[in-house]
Amino acid sequence: MVYSSFELPESLFSCPQLETLILEKLSLVDVPPYADLACLKHLHLLSVRFSCDESFKTLLSICTCLEELVVRRSSYTNVKIYAVNVPTLRSLSIDNSSGKSRPKGVHGFVINAPCLQCFSIRDSFSNYLRFGNMPKLVRSTVNVVCDVMK
């Protein structure tokens, strides 16, 4: 079951004890400007729909000590470019391999994570991937299928 819109309780966006958040098959409205998830270390976004690309960036920006991020993209999600710019991130797992058709336009991932140690990507749909600053990377699994049509 996929919810067309689900508004997380406002108290969740300022929960000082929250360390792990797993969201699956739901739509998120904009992150409130007062939001602060400073203790969040583990974030799983599994087929999550955002109001726009900026909303995804805003969510990551309020997780100031995020260490693990899991993103599973599906035909339900709508973010065009997932910009992962998280200085504290140590583990990143991306699965963009499910779906029936490729989204139109430019879509993919931009990654800048200077503390990243473990990186895994399985992707058969993106047409834009940019891997930036990852000097501490020690383990990586990359399974990317590029389908160039003439």
pTM of the model: 0.90
Three-class secondary structure of residue 96 per DSSP: strand
Return the higher-pLDDT residue of 99 and 129.
Answer: 129
Domain extent at residue 27: 10-144
Residue 43 lies in a domain: yes
Return the higher-pLDDT residue of 29 and 114.
Answer: 114
Query: Token pair for residue 81?
Result: 């470019």
Whether residue 4 has pLDDT greater than 60? no
Instruction: Write out pLDDT tens, residues 79-118.
Output: 999 999 999 999 999 999 876 666 678 889 999 999 999 9
For tokens 């109001």, what's the residue?
51
Residue 149 lies in a domain: no
Instruction: Write out pLDDT tens, residues 33-42.
Output: 888 899 999 9
Residue 123 lies in a domain: yes
Residue 4 lies in a domain: no
